[in-house]
Amino acid sequence: MKDPTEYVITSELFNRYEKNPILTSAEWPYRANAVFNAGAVQIEDETLLLVRVEDMCGFSHLTIARSKDGKTNWKIDDHPALKPQPDVYPEEIWGIEDPRIMYMRERGEYTITYTAYSYGGPLVSLAITEDFQRFNKIGSIMPPEDKDASLFPHKFNGRWALIHRPVPIYHAPSGHIWISYSPDLKHWGDHKIIIKARDGGWWDANKIGLGPPPIETDEGWLIIYHGAKRTASGSIYRLGLALLELENPEKVLRRSSEWVFGPRMIYERIGDVPGVTFPCGAVVDKKKNELLLYYGAADTTMCLAIGKIDEILEYILSCPKG
């Protein structure tokens, strides 16, 4: 039998870092089952990952790892930055997962939207920090079932905007990408679907969700989203692209028909949940024209893939109108 890595398609827009995985539970400073689905942000000369760590009870918390080049020599905190606090936030009873980090220019603060795993199912929670040392948990902002959420970095017509993925009871399990608005980051309304899951045999049929937070480019907001295609042996989590209008992110300018990244390597195909590539964070290095995509592989390790920003934009601009 051939090694599945021999089937790697070389024309993918994102190239895997040759030393993947970049973080595993083996080098964690304390006992952990898996480290994956990290949020990412560049702060001055340092890349900060807020890593989802699954403990040996099955619950997740979030711990910081830092690196100068975003690839090697990760300094991992020996304690969680954010942990479930079900006594104060009952919705965190079964853990907190999958953070997306956004710097809010006007406020000079970072927002962290994450999944709180409540009795009623996963929901969207928000925490705010200036320095990644002290965190102000705002609490839940969307009821279950809802996840894959990120804020935009500024207001639109006086309101903050949130991308998220509620799961409806009709046609379940399914879910489209929605946008909602708030005057104060607490009260949300004006909910609208912006990107629909496709149907039938598509790679992004039935269930899609935002990957990293929206990335501001000259052409529009670049959206990297996942599609979960159901198969006889579980779902395959692959990634596609969309482009939203800068002034009005409800307007989808382009959307890729094909996926641009998906599980191929052994570390993406074998793990606690096989066949999963799941990014919650990306860092743009404008000088190098690079987009560093940080993704969880098989719900087990943290990996990195790198794309050229101009190639990614050229590709999405060649895709069908949204």
Residue 166 CB, nearest distance to ligand BMA (Å)? 13
Q: Which residues contact 199 (CB under 8 A, 6 or more apart)?
A: 205, 206
Min dist CB 263 to ligand BMA, Å, is 11
Among 299, 300, 305, 312, binds ligand BMA (CB under 6 A): 299
Distance, in Å, from the CA atom of 236 to the CA atom of 238, rounded to the nearest integer, reads 6
Binding flag, residue 47, ligand BMA (CB under 6 A) = no
Nearest to ligand BMA of 144, 296 (CB atom): 296
296 counts as binding ligand BMA under rule CB under 6 A: yes
Does 204 contact ligand BMA by CB under 6 A?
A: no
Map the footprint of ligand BMA across residues 150-189, applying CB under 6 A. none
Residue 86, classed as helix, strand or coil, is: coil
- Burial string for 188-205 (b: 16+ CB within 10 Å, else e) reads beeeeebbebbeeeebbb
How many residues touch ligand BMA under the rule CB under 6 A: the total is 9
Shortest Å, Cβ 106 to ligand BMA: 30
Q: Give the DSSP H/E element, type plus range, for residue 316.
A: helix 309-317
CB of 72 to ligand BMA, least distance (A): 24
In the complex with ligand BMA, the residue whose CB is nearer, 82 or 243, is 82
Does residue 74 contact residue 23 with C-beta atoms inside 8 Å?
yes
Q: Which residue lies nearer to ligand BMA by CB, 261 or 278?
A: 278
Considering beta carbons, is residue 98 or 146 the nearer one to ligand BMA? 98
Q: Check binding of 294 to ligand BMA (CB under 6 A).
A: no
DSSP 140-177: EEEPSSEEEEEE-SS-BTTBEEEEEEE--STTSS-B-E
Q: How far is the CB of 38 from ligand BMA (least distance, A)?
A: 11
Q: CA–CA separation, 96 vs 108, rounded Å?
A: 24
Nearer Cβ to ligand BMA (98/268): 98
Q: What is the Cα–Cα distance from 108 to 90, expressed in whole angstroms?
A: 29
92 or 97: CB nearest ligand BMA = 97
Residue 301 binds ligand BMA, judged by CB under 6 A: no
* Interaction residues for ligand BMA, span 255-274 (CB under 6 A): 273
Half-sphere exposure of 133 (CA within 13 A, CB side): 1
Q: Does residue number 37 form part of the binding site for ligand BMA (CB under 6 A)?
A: yes
278 near ligand BMA (CB under 6 A): yes
Torsional sign, CA 166, 168, 173, 174: negative
List the interface residues with ligand BMA, window 227-246 (CB under 6 A). 237
State the binding string over 70-109 for ligand BMA (x if CB under 6 A, else -).
---------------------------xx-----------
DSSP-based three-state secondary structure for 232 = coil
Non-local (6+) Cβ contacts of 140 within 8 A are 89, 91, 116, 118, 123, 124, 125
Minimum distance, C-beta of residue 298 to ligand BMA, in the bound complex (Å): 9
Query: Is the Cβ of residue 237 or residue 267 nearer to ligand BMA in the bound state?
Result: 237
Residue with tokens 């992110």: 249
Is the C-alpha dihedral spanning 170, 176, 182, 187 positive or negative? Answer: positive
Interface residues with ligand BMA (CB under 6 A)?
37, 97-98, 237, 273, 276, 278, 296, 299
